[in-house]
Amino acid sequence: MTYRRRKTAERLEQWIPRTRLGKMIQEGRITSIEEVFTEGLPIREPEIVDTLLPDLQEEVIDINLVQKQTDAGERSRFKAIVAVGNRDGYVGLGSGKARQVRTAIEKAAVDARLKIVPIRRGCGSWECGCGKVHSLPFQVEGKCGGVRIVIIPGPRGLGIVASEVARVILALAGVKDCWTRSFGSTRTVPSFAYAIFDALKKTYSLITPTDWVG
């Protein structure tokens, strides 16, 4: 077991839910992440996600040293960006700041769990038409800061045609085949990552919520 998995297991064992949703999950009244989103219940405890998605994986996307001028002098902290996903339709992106790198990563990992969303997948590629959920159902566009990114459905076997950061996030979401096109200051990793996340969120926001259940 990795350090992080052990930490998660420990946290789950000691978990005393503070929210209504957390209590419902511990009492076994809600047993799937789909129910959480169908009911529109806000996720305010990371343990909710760890309980309902035990196969959740996480990847550190970016670590930056942030320096700030204060009255007491220069203060530096690390800012981490972490992505989580079950490689099967759920992905989250979060950030955290701390004086220690490890603490910044842990905070970002918690934030990513609280920001998790369902991704609608499909076969939106006219060259493919297999009907399986290996890609996205249609083209989506996302923005953050000065970055704009377009994700285009691709045929089975294509793989993820994207930069490293986009590949990691798309793979965590469970998207296997697609093209991407990016515009603007794409070397700004945080904005780039959030633009991808924004695009993926649109796979659901472009349709009515009742569509998600089936």
Least Å distance between CB 161 and Zn ion? 15
Q: How many CA atoms lie within 13 A of 212 on its CB side?
A: 23
Q: What DSSP string describes 201-214?
A: HHHHHTS-GGGG--
The one among 33, 49, 123, 168 contacting Zn ion by CB under 5 A: 123
Under rule CB under 5 A, residue 136 binds Zn ion = no
Shortest separation between residue 130's beta carbon and Zn ion, angstroms: 3
**Residue 175 makes contact with Zn ion by CB under 5 A:** no
The HSE-up count of residue 4 (CA atoms within 13 Å, CB side) is 18
Nearer to Zn ion, 113 or 176 (CB): 176
Name which of residues 147 to 166 contact Zn ion (CB under 5 A): 156
Per-residue burial over 76-104, b if 16 or more Cβ lie within 10 Å, else e, is ebbbbbbbbbbeebbbbbbbbebeeeeeb
* Residue 16 φ/ψ, nearest 5 degrees: -115, 105
Q: Quick check: 128 binds Zn ion (CB under 5 A)? A: yes
Which CB sits closer to Zn ion, 108 or 123?
123
- The size of the interface with Zn ion (CB under 5 A), counted in residues, is 4
Residues near Zn ion (CB under 5 A) are: 123, 128, 130, 156
